[in-house]
């Protein structure tokens, strides 16, 4: 289990699980997944159980009104390669970019507008994962989440502090105006009812039931009935890159997962050392992330060619732009977010890397009345530029920040599942995790408690880093080595040390599968109540 401390002193203990392991941002959710493992479920069952519990206990980060991506690897998948699932929603049939432009919008509305909420794919993701690889009955997998929703749970510090942001929101009475204090019991009757409907009727119980009916009402023409009839979860070919003696896998576009792979490929080409405390290590990883991502807005769409985005010649060109003494002058766009990542393993060696999200905090701040579900605002990834490859339009998937990862060895065996929340910071954190795991050889606990950097801009909103390339700064955590600060400053970076606020550096988790023993993993101490629980 992780131990909660201040950022300067926290530690994370690695937990080994001979019969399986679950890591998430919430101890209650991790326990839900572990209980399913103990009941005879596999890693997929545990991941779904944990994910469902998180939709109950962490509505400020995820929910049934959001999206989901997953990778599944190891024994029991029936495939020599990892299974890769894209359960991200599509814009409704009423999506009209001209109308938004006529209203004066130059970008998709951040909050308070249902048009930034594609039809949510999370529940389709659960059902598709379970239908292919689940072992237990769906009702048994969802039972722990239902129990949390009906019986109540203590509000986490992050949830209690976030709930006031919903003041004035119509349609989600169980969260609005509740005045919940940290540790106070919160009951979620709406999600409990939705989960029971899913357990009893599957897809029809959700998209064809109360949620779907209310979604059409709140959409007021944004969605049509046929938008809810089509499954939003697709099995896709995984995107991979051979780097540092391993093969790293992610979800292809519309996911931005390619950025983590590209950053690792650039770092390998430049020659990353095994000394993370070195200023040169920090500079190289920062620059690898920037070189990988500077053209993300023009490159990422649901029709983008992921293989081309990580092609050797493309990575060679970018690695050649690296300067060991100064930062590159680049431009792109950055977005923050409200997301959760979890990973699970079972006694057979199967691993699941799963991520789900509202996008930004409570998402679009649009509730589906009576259901207790808030809609995500993943549509903010769309462009309103006419003719842009990611232009908002009917049936389209927006560019997505969700970027889970899975690592295999040259023989195809599973090495690790990993990922993080954090908007466009996700591939930056994944890059640092891969470098610490595959180059520095750190164990999960040391890796997750180690200091991180993320890109930002002075006085920015958290959504404009790549729009202001001349104002880039590197935010580093309090417990980062002094060599990072001085070395980055000497190389021309503007450096900001974060205070006691640990937001923005991700909530990452990792399970590693050693060749000579049981799986081991850890949850991120930055999540405060997260846990790695053996099943």
- Enzyme catalytic residues: 339
**Cβ-defined contacts of 197-204 (< 8 Å, 24+):** 198/123, 198/126, 198/127, 198/138, 198/142, 199/138, 199/139, 199/142, 199/143, 199/146, 200/139, 202/127, 202/138, 203/123, 203/124, 203/127, 203/231
Number of Cβ within a 10 Å radius of residue 229: 12
Distance of CA 280 to the CA centre of its chain: 28
Helix (H) or strand (E) holding 277: none
Give alpha helix (H) positions in 402-477: 426-434, 444-449
Distance (Å, whole) CA 135 – CA 141: 9
Specify which residues 508 forms β-bridges with. Answer: 420
Distance (Å, whole) CA 372 – CA 532: 28
DSSP 3-state of 460? coil
Question: Which residues in 217-228 are b (16+ Cβ under 10 Å) and which e?
Answer: ebbeebbeeebb
Number of Cβ within a 10 Å radius of residue 358: 31
First and final C-alpha spacing in the chain: 13
Do the bridges between strand 472-476 and strand 494-497 make them parallel or antiparallel, or are there none, so unpaired? parallel
DSSP 3-state of 439? helix
Place of tokens 């379970």: 130
Number of Cβ within a 10 Å radius of residue 122: 28
Distance (Å, whole) CA 227 – CA 215: 11
Number of Cβ within a 10 Å radius of residue 497: 14
- Count CA atoms within 13 Å of residue 105 on its CB side: 22
Distance (Å, whole) CA 304 – CA 400: 12
Distance (Å, whole) CA 197 – CA 123: 11
What angle, rounded to 10 degrees, do the helices at 43-57 and 27-38 form? 150
**C-beta of residue 364 within 8 angstroms of C-beta of residue 116:** yes
């Amino acid at each position: 289990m992780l131990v909660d401390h201040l950022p300067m002193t926290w530690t994370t203990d690695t937990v080994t699980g001979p019969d399986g392991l679950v890591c998430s941002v919430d101890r209650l959710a991790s326990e839900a997944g572990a209980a399913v493992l103990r009941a005879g479920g596999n890693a997929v069952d545990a991941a779904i159980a944990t994910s469902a519990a998180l939709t109950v206990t962490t509505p400020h980060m995820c929910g049934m009104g959001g999206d989901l991506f997953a990778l599944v690897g190891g024994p029991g998948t029936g495939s020599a390669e990892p299974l890769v699932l894209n359960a991200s929603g599509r814009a409704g049939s009423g999506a009209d970019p001209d109308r938004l432009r006529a209203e004066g919008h130059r970008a998709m509305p951040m909050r308070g507008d249902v048009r930034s909420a594609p039809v949510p794919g999370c529940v389709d993701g659960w059902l598709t994962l379970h239908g292919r690889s689940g072992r237990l009955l769906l009702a048994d997998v969802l039972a722990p989440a239902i129990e949390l929703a009906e019986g109540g749970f203590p509000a986490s510090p992050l949830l209690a502090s976030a709930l006031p942001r919903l003041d004035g929101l119509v349609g989600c009475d169980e969260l609005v105006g509740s005045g919940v204090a940290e540790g106070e019991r919160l009951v979620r009757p709406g999600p409990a009812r939705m989960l029971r409907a899913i357990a009893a009727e599957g897809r029809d119980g959700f998209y064809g039931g109360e949620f779907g009916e209310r979604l059409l009402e709140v959409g007021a023409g944004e969605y049509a009935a046929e938008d809810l009839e089509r499954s939003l979860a697709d099995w896709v070919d995984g995107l991979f890159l051979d780097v540092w003696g391993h093969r790293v896998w992610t979800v292809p576009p519309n996911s931005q997962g390619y950025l983590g792979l590209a950053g690792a490929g650039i770092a390998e080409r430049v020659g990353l050392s095994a000394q993370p405390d070195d200023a040169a290590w920090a500079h190289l990883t920062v620059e690898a992330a920037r070189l990988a991502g500077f053209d993300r807005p023009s490159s990422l769409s649901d029709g983008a060619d992921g293989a081309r985005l990580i092609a050797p010649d493309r990575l060679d060109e970018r690695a050649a732009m690296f300067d060991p003494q100064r930062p590159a002058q680049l431009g792109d766009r950055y977005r923050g977010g409200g997301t959760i990542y979890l990973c699970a393993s079972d006694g057979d060696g199967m691993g699941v890397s799963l991520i789900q999200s509202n996008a930004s905090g409570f998402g679009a701040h649009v509730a589906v009345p009576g259901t207790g579900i808030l809609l995500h605002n993943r549509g903010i990834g769309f462009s309103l530029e006419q003719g842009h490859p990611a232009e908002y339009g009917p049936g389209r998937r927006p560019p997505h920040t969700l970027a889970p990862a899975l690592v295999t060895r040259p023989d195809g065996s599973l090495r690790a599942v990993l990922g993080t929340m954090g908007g466009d910071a996700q591939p930056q954190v994944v890059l640092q995790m891969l470098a610490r795991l595959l180059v520095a050889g750190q164990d999960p606990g040391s890796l997750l408690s180690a200091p991180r950097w993320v890109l930002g801009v002075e006085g920015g909103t958290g959504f404009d880093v790549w729009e202001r390339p001349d104002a880039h700064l590197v935010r580093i955590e309090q417990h980062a080595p002094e060599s990072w600060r001085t070395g980055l400053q000497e190389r021309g970076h503007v450096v900001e040390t974060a205070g006691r606020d640990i937001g923005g550096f991700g909530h990452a988790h990792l399970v590693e599968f050693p060749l000579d023993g049981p799986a081991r993993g850890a949850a991120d101490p930055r999540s405060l109540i997260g846990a790695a629980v053996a099943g």
